[in-house]
Chains A and B, each alone.
Chain A
Amino acid sequence: MNNSDIKGERFKEFLAEAEDILNSMGKGLLKLGKGVKAGIIDPAVLNSIFRSAHTLKGMSGVFEFRDMGSLSHSLEDTLDLLRMGRITLTDDTLDSVMAAHELLVRIVSARGLGDFSEEIEGIKQGLARGHVKKSKPREQINKELLSILTEYEEHRFRECLRDGRNIYIVTVKFPITSFDKGYVSVTEILKTESELIATLPSTKSSHEVLYFDILIGTVRGKGFIDDLVRPLAEAEISVLAEPSAKHASPQASKSEPALEIISGHGHGRHLDASRETLRRVSNTVRVNISKLDNIMNIISELGILKTGISGISSRLKVEREFSSYSIELSRSEKYLERKLSELRDSVLDVRMVPIGQLFGRFETLINKLSREAGKEIRMITHGDETELDKLIVEELADPLMHIIRNVLDHAIEAPSAREAMGKQRAGTITLSAYQKGNHVVLEVKDDGAGIDAELVREKAVEKGLITREYAKSLSRQETLDLLFLPGFSTRDFVSETSGRGVGMDVVKENITKLSGIIDIETVKGRGTRFLLTIPITLAIIQALIVEDLGRRYAVPLNSVIEIVELPPGEMDSGSEYITVNDRSVPAVRLSSFFGKDRPFGAEASSYGIVAGLAEHRLCVMVDGLVEELEVVIKPLPRMLKPAGIAGATDMGEKGTILVLDITGILEHVLKERKAPARA
């Protein structure tokens, strides 16, 4: 293995790209799997999986990444035979292909380390077993047409004929200046109702106009396709074959000229191919997130400049002789503001990826693990399109995986046990995501055994994590919180699957790092629901500006659970807890946390900001709430790192205000008060 020698930036880039390709391959495989179950195989999906494998093989060659190279080569071979229809897609073949994909994912995440040669051999053999030859019938096809189709296109052409679909040639023309956009829009719309077999550039192309002959197979009639394309481009449809006679139009015999056109030259094809590659390259740009952070910084500085301008414009308003300028200025300023916020939204948008990318990875995992554990598990996902910051999505992969593994191992019962309880044989894990304000809520729900709070309490005492006396004082929710204590989920909650000595405390830690909140809801015998509430992005935060003892602070709203109004006297001096929603929550006065004592008798009504960190809650009390704003957090200088302060934000004319680190305050307060030994 000399893979470990390969280092450096280019290698990292290569791995990132390989990950992307495997990701889209995984999505394709899922679609394919669903298709096989339903008895329909979408050739376009199969072809895209083949292309992924092909690209991977090529890339591995460049980097001498041998493990990946040899495996993706075998995979490519099998997929090629599949897409050409030379072999049949059986369940076994599909399993082998999925296993190969899964191993490739692991090889890539091992970053060139580790020895996979045995596993690769196993999978290669599995792939080879699938190579059962299919008989290849022959249809009569015009030789001239065949001569310009690739082998794959020919195969698809035959398949369409065999399926009894109508074969048309849609001839479209575009001005040379906008042909690329036009072509894409026409093919996109055609794809919705037909299969694109090939695009044959027409010989008719002139200097100003390009013609394309698009060869399609469809169950639709000619008139239908005509109506479909007409709004987008001038089109002429010729019929090559029309088995479904009921759609046949009187002009069906017009197929002759079309075939003449097809017998054209090769140079047009060349143009077609080069355009396709260009399109692929220009569609995606790989950008380092830190560059986007830079842009965000500039945008926030522009925002500050804008505030300065609005100051001038309001001062001008008072000066009578300048009032007309002031109106103009404030109009421009409004426009500037709108454009700035559009700019910021689009930069944020660039960072966003659909959570489905992540869910997809779990489906293969669940399939594999449940098979190994002898359980039957169905995975359902909702809200795949929900978007989250790319960085956050990556950070969520591990905690979600731990939760799912735990569910798989401990929550979902064996099929026979489930039947005995009157449940469905197959357990269900539901992954859902939905947006809630500036947060995304991720839900992992199962219909398994649920968590027995009594058992949790017992175990925690047994392990010496808490005293029996303290255990008795815990509410049900607080008892469930014990699951997140380090050292709780050691032996009993760890099996081979969820093993590796990591437990729910790691999950908590990861979620905390993202300023997220984790909650558990469970019903014994019915199932459990893990709710992860995560901020959409970390670059810009929604903040609540609060005031205490005459100072202003920004509280990141992503850590705020609720805000309660506390009438005067609610918080007696000396009391360290207040009750919010039947839950006793530790409380702290913001200014006294920062070491500023309140003059006696200054206690007026105040507000409690209930913040959460993983399963913990803290009520931070302040004098007043000022406003809600979007702010960009800047780190404090390195030599100043006071507890409880995450950074500062520049508010332009209003000066700089500190952004609180609620997590830090909470941890500090809990540590000071030594949680279990409370009064």
Chain B
Amino acid sequence: MRRKILDLRQIQEAALRQATIAPTDENYSESLARGTAEEERLNIISFFLDGLEYAFEVSSAVEVLRLKNLTEVPKTPAFVLGILSVRGEMVPVIDLKGRFGEGLQAKKTGRVLVASFDDLKAGFIVERLSGVKEVPVSSIDADTSGLDEPCRGFLKGLIKGESLIRLLDAGKLMEFRADEA
């Protein structure tokens, strides 16, 4: 639990710094003020890509950066756009659509959401960050078999609320070898 709080703060800082937190910002502060509600809840950070909404758990997100100084690395999978130095650590930047096997997003601009899994870190390019949300755990459906999208193999589950949010599995996204196509 301590880890979560720490990351939350980081995300909050990053979000404030980027000043991109749109309407949900207020909801977020409110939810912080409310503390843990009766129902078990999960903090997620969500973003849009090609009109679809995706999210990482806040506990696996590290920070949000502006994409600049990306360095290409030869002989790596096409979805690895390059590496970025994040506080002295070299982090690969991944094109999510490419990672799903859909073909590259083509846009190399925007923001990079850095996520971690174990001791691994990777940055993912996101188009529109919609901010941190709190969702009831009960709204998460681990069964993704109904979804007919290439991202299906990289999900932890689907969050079913007003709109459908695809909850990404950071571990699976980072699990690849350099020689993978």
Contact = CB atoms under 8 A, between A and B. Distances in A.
A477 to B, nearest CB: 33
Interface stretch (B87-95, B145-153, B162-170): B87-95
A636 B83 contact: yes
Interface in A632-668: 634-645, 647-648, 650, 655-658
B85 A595 contact: no
Contacts of A472: none
Interface residues of B, number: 25
Given A640-B92, A648-B83, A595 B74 contact: yes
Nearest to A637: B92
A328 B36 CA distance: 51
Contacts of A594: 74-75
A554 to B, nearest CB: 11
A639 B90 contact: no
B76 interface: yes
Contact of B87 (A301, A642, A656, A657): A301
Nearest to B82: A656
Contacts of A640: 73, 76, 80, 83, 92, 178
A300 interface: yes
B76 A634 contact: no
Chain A, interface size: which category?
A: 20 to 34
B174 interface: yes
A647 B178 contact: no
A286 interface: no
A634 B89 contact: yes
Nearest to A639: B176
Contact of A596 (B74, B90, B92): B74
Nearest to B74: A594
Contacts of B72: 551
Contacts of A637: 83, 90-92, 120-122
A304 B89 CA distance: 13
Contacts of B121: 637
Nearest to B174: A639
B71 interface: yes
B120 A638 contact: yes
Interface string A93-127: 00000000000000000000000000000000000
A648 B71 contact: yes
A639 B75 contact: no
Interface string B63-74: 000000101111
B84 interface: yes
Nearest to A638: B120
Given A648-B71, A656-B83, A639 B92 contact: yes
A384 to B, nearest CB: 37
Contact of B73 (A304, A638, A642, A655): A642
A300 B90 CA distance: 14
Contact of A639 (B69, B88, B178): B178
B177 interface: yes
A304 B87 CA distance: 10
A55 interface: no
A641 B77 CA distance: 11
Given A645-B74, A648-B85, 7 more contacts: A301-B87, A594-B75, A634-B88, A637-B92, A637-B122, A640-B92, A650-B88
14 contacts: A297-B88, A595-B75, A634-B85, A634-B88, A636-B83, A637-B83, A637-B92, A637-B122, A639-B177, A640-B73, A640-B80, A642-B75, A644-B74, A644-B75
